[in-house]
Amino acid sequence: MTKTPEQIAADTGAELARDVELAGFTTLRVGGKVPVMFTCRSTEALVACVRALDAAGRETLLLAGGSNLLVADGVLDLAVVRIATDGMSIARDGRQAIVRVEAGAVWDDVVARTVEAGLGGLECLSGIPGSAGATPVQNVGAFGVEIASLLRRVRLLDRRSGEIRWVAPAELALGYRTSCLKHSDRAVVLAVELGLTTDGLSAPLRYRELNARLGAGTGERRNAAEVRQAVLALRSAKAMVLDEADHDTWSAGSFFTNPVVDDRTLARIRAAVAARFGDDAAMPAFPEPGGTKLSAAWLIERAGFGKGYPGPHAPVRLSTRHTLALTNRGSGSAADLVALAREVRAGVEAAFGVRLHPEPVLVGCEL
């Protein structure tokens, strides 16, 4: 016999809420109503709750910080499992520190605590919203550092076998803003384990804009706290640090990933750029495993969508400080965001023949 949500909550220790508007749980502030949300404050409750919903064949959305989600408007026939665990431990082992964090821990609090503890490695990932458990899902990255370079192990609940085990990063197919966990319901990240340095210095600095601000050379290491402050300042200037009062931050971060193209496609895009802007138009292009990475922001701007597009009175618009962020100005809906994303994507494709792909996970809607 199928269990009721009340029975599942009582059996698993999850907190049950009914008829929840997901707009209150996403940084884009959009998302319709779900019949049930189970909030899990312990790993045991999280495991038991996901297992119970899977056994009942219930379609389930895992949600933590809601900062990489675009959820459709209206009524969604989904059970939401909200991950609200927050345990964290630091163990020092000579020149390395091993930091273990439960999935629901607020990521930037984790970064701040490690920096305060004199540990280096995470400082470039300061200010990224969301949870620790979501960091391997899209291999979060910023200022030349990706979480892949700091992960030692990830603790997963395999939803098919029911097994819980620590897996090595090599098993997760971590790539540029992707992993085998993204767009997949195969596993729940229960915890992550990170390897950090104990000398109080940052990871080697390799991002031009950050190095320029710090006056640092490529590969130099600086005091991790100093680097964190510089990163937070650079991010704030682009509205990439959450601020409830600032609609430019009502986003999911970068809405499109930077396209990675093969040599033939690159030649075609360069020809399209030259035809539009002349031979000396310098399109940013960076070598990347598997091809060349282009700047989605550059392509969007050159296709005619500047910061703030389409204008001050629109319910959703490109951020006035960061071309890549689609933002809700207060009354926007998921449908408005999808329409703007489609318009931008079609404009870039018409201008340069390159198709942009969304970085956030879309739930109940598509581009």
Active-site position among 153, 177, 235, 302: 177
Residue 6 falls in the annotated catalytic set: no
51-110: contacts with ligand FAD (CB under 6 A): 61-69, 83, 103
In 3-state terms, what secondary structure has residue 178? strand
**Which of 114, 126, 131, 202 is the binder for ligand FAD (CB under 6 A)?**
131
Do 281 and 200 meet the contact criterion of CB atoms below 8 Å apart?
Answer: no
Which pairs from 218-227 meet CB under 8 Å and 24+ separation?
221/120, 224/115, 224/118, 224/119, 224/120, 224/121, 224/122, 224/123, 224/200, 225/115, 225/116, 225/123, 225/200, 227/123, 227/124, 227/202
Which residues 318-337 are close enough to bind ligand FAD by CB under 6 A?
none
Task: Return the exposure string of 60-99: e unless at least 16 CB atoms fall within 10 Å of the residue's CB, then b.
Answer: bbbbbbbbbbbbbbeebebbbbbbbbbebebeeeeeebeb
Residue 184-203 contact track with ligand FAD, rule CB under 6 A, x = bound: ----xx--------------
d(CA 345, CA 352): 11
β-pair type (316-318, 96-102): unpaired
Rank residues 69 and 115 by Cβ distance to ligand FAD and give the closer one.
Answer: 69
Site for ligand FAD in 201-260 (CB under 6 A): 240, 242, 249, 251-253
For this structure, is 366 an active site residue?
no
Clarify whether 288 is annotated catalytic.
no
Least distance to ligand FAD, CB of residue 201, Å = 22
Between 120 and 358, name the residue whose CB sits nearer to ligand FAD: 358
Which residue has tokens 């630091």? 90
Q: Which is nearer to ligand FAD, 136 or 347 (CB)?
A: 136
Residues 29, 328 contacting (CB under 8 angstroms): yes
Question: Out of 254, 302, 319, 333, which one is annotated catalytic?
Answer: 254
CA 217/CA 24 separation, integer angstroms: 43
Stretch that binds ligand FAD, among 14-22, 33-41, 130-138, 279-287 (CB under 6 A): 130-138
Token readout for 201 is 């210095």
Of the residues 48, 142, 151, 269, which one makes contact with ligand FAD according to CB under 6 A: 142
Q: Report in angstroms how near the CB of residue 199 gets to ligand FAD at its nearest.
A: 25
Residues acting as catalytic residues: 177, 254, 359
Binding site for ligand FAD (CB under 6 A): 27, 61-69, 83, 103, 128-131, 133-135, 137-138, 140-142, 181, 188-189, 240, 242, 249, 251-253, 361
